[in-house]
């Protein structure tokens, strides 16, 4: 540990220790040369003599030093002295995203998307420079006191070659991708997966996979289904949930191909959170469950613990001999398939087999109508309906009379989604059966479309009057509905006229008679629509205005200034920085280029008569370097000399003064003589 007050490289004064990682300690320091605070990362002494660790440590600086982006912590310096290896980087005054989540428990969707957009921009910049971070987690994301989000610690990143990167180091296991867990091939999609886990934690306050050991967590990434985040955050918009689910697909091919495409959906979700626009890959190979062999488990254990584990090999003397490296042969709490564990796994396997058989019997029985509740008013059974696909589009089946779970199973198999929009009393359908759907049967829709349905609450035996909640704050509206014995569904919508958090409209309408526990949908205002400010620099004023108006923004004050690099008529600067989220209708001030600033010159001269008694007059002309006339004085009599001339606002820096002398002899003969001289004019501001 460095002493407070000591110096690194005779330049960086160590002020305090501010953090520690697996390989290094981080100190706040003062750069005495530039007079600014910096963060200095010091490789821990136990690794300083390890050539491999030192190499990785310096690779971090080399790979990240070339990155310059507002959402990446900048690297300033790297070096070594007296076996101390250090990296000097930007000091961010603030807290980590991990600490922020711990303080707030759950972030609202707007805040989560805003943070995710900034993180994605930083990672995208790295990917564009062939650098994969490979350790994206909330601990490596800083939030400054001004709200700026920056990605830090490219500790295990390295520049990609033309080949795919092979992962030889695991990131933190809660956020690691399946391919990292199995020591597979890693590219930018691994960072997309990890960012998806971070978004999950932001909106739910918890990680999707957890366990007592790193091995157990890693295996969950490979095998376990993720509980949808909406289970823990009921008000989570569908767009953000689907973005998270798409990012965290176990198959790399089913995630977003690039950070750029993820950013497009994140920005769309910020503006239209309740629109179901995210396109999910609904291929047959879902990439969900993977059978893991002993070799893969051993590899996972070695990555997460740094130890070597037994490898079974066959020999003539013994079909299964355990070959052990030079580690102690003690029992390992994280051991996989030791004798006790094998017995447990065997029992679990039998239980799983029984469960699968029961499920199969239930599904067959359901399709045959054995377990299905029947509609007393319907004579016909409701068989499994054939799903028609045509050129990538899917025909929506008739869901009426099916239970929600039955409809969900059939739609999911067809590549569609379902959403329960409400519950209503019905004389025709039994409780739990679907009454209506927002997409008519037979209509062709795109894959991933969500069908909204209303479920029967059974016959109306008791009526409840729906209270009027429009115009109330959402919390007050919910309380009023619950007091009336009703449930609620809360949706959000942008509004320029209704204050944020206020109910815009409700369904069913006020004073409607409904069954108890009916779900009343309230649409709550998000306030003015959020818009991301575009980058207008170098665009013409006309194009900038069109782009702003298309986004619901407006041009504010327009000023002008000279610029040597931006063409005349194009935007030099804008009042709101590109990428900032503002409300619809915000006015953006512009500064328009006048082109390069014109320099004007002046010329002064005091002209004397030549030593010639016959001169009677003169004609004086001043021209620029191209011969264009700047000014002239004709028929100046000899009595007017010495003659002073002064010309201002000359656009050229050089010119020629030409004097034609008119002479008259004693005999009255008129002759002329011309005198020319070039001059450099003086700038008017000097």
CA 381 to chain centre: 49
Report CA-CA distances (Å) from 639 to 386, 607, 611, 619, 665.
113, 12, 14, 14, 17
What is the rounded distance in angstroms from the CA atom of residue 539 to the CA atom of residue 551? 16
- Cβ atoms < 10 Å from Cβ of 93: 10
What is the rounded distance in angstroms from the CA atom of residue 372 to the CA atom of residue 363? 10
Residues 392/417, Cβ–Cβ less than 8 Å: no
The residue to which tokens 């759950």 are assigned: 106
Residues 13/7, Cβ–Cβ less than 8 Å: yes
Q: What is the DSSP string of 485-513?
A: T-EEEEEEE--SSSPTTBEEEEESPTT-E
Phi, psi of 124 (to 5 degrees): -60, -40
What is the rounded distance in angstroms from the CA atom of residue 70 to the CA atom of residue 122? 7
* SS3 (DSSP) at 204: helix
Residues 588/533, Cβ–Cβ less than 8 Å: yes
Residues 296/219, Cβ–Cβ less than 8 Å: no
Q: What is the DSSP string of 597-662?
A: PPP-EEEEEEE---S-TTEEEEEEEEEETT--EEEEEEEEEGGG-SEEEEEEEESSSEEEEEEEEE
Q: What is the DSSP string of 547-589?
A: HHHHTT-EEEEEEEE--SSSPTTBEEEESS-TT-EEETT-EEE
Interior angle at CA 320, CA 316 and CA 321, nearest 5? 85
The strand pairing partners of 491, in sequence order, are 523
The residue to which tokens 């110096």 are assigned: 7
The residue to which tokens 């409300």 are assigned: 583
The strand pairing partners of 591, in sequence order, are 559, 573
Residue 486 structure tokens? 């009703």
CA 157 to chain centre: 19
* Active-site residue flag, 135: yes
> Which of 31, 135, 474, 563 is the catalytic position?
135
Cis peptide upstream of residue 341 (ω within 30 degrees of 0):
no
C-alpha gyration radius of the chain: 38
Q: What residues contact residue 82 under an 8 Å CB cut-off, 6+ apart? A: none
Q: What amino acid positions are annotated as catalytic residues? A: 135
């Amino acid at each position: 540990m460095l002493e407070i007050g000591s110096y690194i490289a005779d330049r960086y004064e160590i002020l305090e220790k501010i953090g520690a990682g697996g390989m290094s300690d981080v100190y706040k320091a003062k750069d005495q040369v530039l007079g600014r605070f910096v963060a200095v990362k010091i490789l821990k002494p136990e690794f300083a003599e390890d050539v491999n660790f030192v190499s990785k440590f310096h690779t971090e600086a080399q790979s990240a030093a070339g990155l310059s982006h507002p959402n990446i912590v900048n690297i300033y310096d790297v070096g070594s002295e007296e076996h101390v290896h250090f990296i000097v980087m930007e000091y961010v005054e603030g807290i980590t995203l991990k600490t922020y989540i711990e303080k707030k428990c759950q972030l609202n969707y707007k805040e989560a998307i805003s943070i995710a957009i900034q993180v994605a921009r930083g990672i995208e910049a790295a990917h564009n420079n062939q650098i994969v971070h490979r350790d994206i987690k909330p601990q490596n994301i800083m939030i400054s006191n001004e709200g700026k989000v920056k990605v830090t610690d490219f500790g295990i990143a390295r520049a990609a070659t033309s080949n795919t990167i092979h992962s030889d180091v695991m990131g933190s296991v809660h956020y690691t991708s399946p391919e990292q867990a199995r020591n597979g091939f890693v590219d930018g999609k691994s960072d997309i997966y990890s960012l998806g886990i971070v978004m999950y934690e932001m909106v739910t306050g918890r990680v999707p996979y957890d366990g007592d050991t790193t091995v157990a967590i890693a295996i969950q990434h490979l095998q376990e289904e993720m509980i949808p985040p909406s289970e823990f955050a009921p008000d989570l918009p569908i767009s953000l949930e689907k973005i998270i689910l798409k990012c965290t697909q176990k198959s790399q091919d089913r995630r977003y191909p690039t950070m750029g495409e993820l950013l497009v959906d994140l920005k769309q979700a910020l503006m239209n959170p309740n629109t179901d626009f995210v396109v999910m890959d609904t291929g047959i190979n879902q990439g969900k469950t993977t059978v893991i062999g002993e070799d893969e488990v051993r590899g996972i254990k070695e990555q997460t613990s740094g130890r070597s584990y037994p490898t079974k090999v066959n020999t003539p003397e013994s079909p299964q001999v355990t070959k052990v490296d030079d580690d102690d042969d003690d029992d390992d709490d994280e051991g996989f398939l030791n004798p006790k564990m094998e017995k447990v796994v065997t029992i679990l396997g039998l239980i799983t087999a029984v469960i699968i058989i029961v499920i199969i019997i239930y599904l067959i029985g359901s399709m045959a109508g054995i377990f299905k509740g029947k509609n007393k008013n319907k004579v016909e059974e409701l068989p499994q309906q054939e799903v028609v696909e045509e050129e990538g589009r899917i025909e929506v089946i008739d869901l009426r009379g099916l239970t929600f779970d039955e409809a969900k199973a059939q739609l999911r198999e067809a590549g569609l989604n379902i959403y329960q929009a409400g519950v209503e009393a019905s004389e025709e359908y039994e409780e739990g059966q679907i009454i209506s759907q927002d997409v008519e049967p037979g209509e062709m829709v795109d894959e991933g479309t969500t069908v909204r349905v209303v479920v029967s609450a059974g016959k109306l035996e008791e009526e409840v009057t729906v209270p009027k909640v429009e115009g109330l704050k959402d919390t007050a509206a919910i309380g009023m509905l619950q007091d009336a014995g009703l449930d609620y569904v809360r949706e959000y919508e942008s509004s320029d006229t209704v204050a944020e958090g206020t109910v815009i409209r409700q369904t069913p309408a006020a004073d409607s008679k409904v069954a108890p526990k009916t779900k009343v949908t309230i649409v709550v205002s998000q306030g003015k629509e959020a818009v991301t400010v575009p980058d207008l620099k170098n665009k013409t004023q006309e194009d900038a205005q069109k782009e702003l108006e298309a986004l619901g923004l407006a041009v504010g004050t327009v000023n002008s200034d000279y610029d040597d690099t931006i063409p005349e008529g194009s935007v030099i600067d804008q009042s709101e920085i590109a990428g900032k989220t503002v409300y619809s209708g915000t006015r953006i001030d512009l500064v328009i280029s006048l082109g390069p600033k014109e320099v004007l010159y002046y010329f002064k001269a005091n002209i004397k008569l030549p030593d010639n008694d016959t001169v009677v007059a003169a004609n004086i002309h001043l021209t620029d370097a191209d011969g264009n006339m700047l000014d002239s004085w004709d028929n100046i009599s000899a009595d007017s000399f010495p003659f002073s001339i002064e010309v201002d606002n000359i656009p050229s820096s050089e010119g020629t003064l030409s004097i034609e002398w008119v002479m008259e002899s004693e005999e009255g003969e008129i002759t002329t003589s011309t005198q020319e001289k070039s001059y450099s004019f003086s700038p008017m501001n000097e």
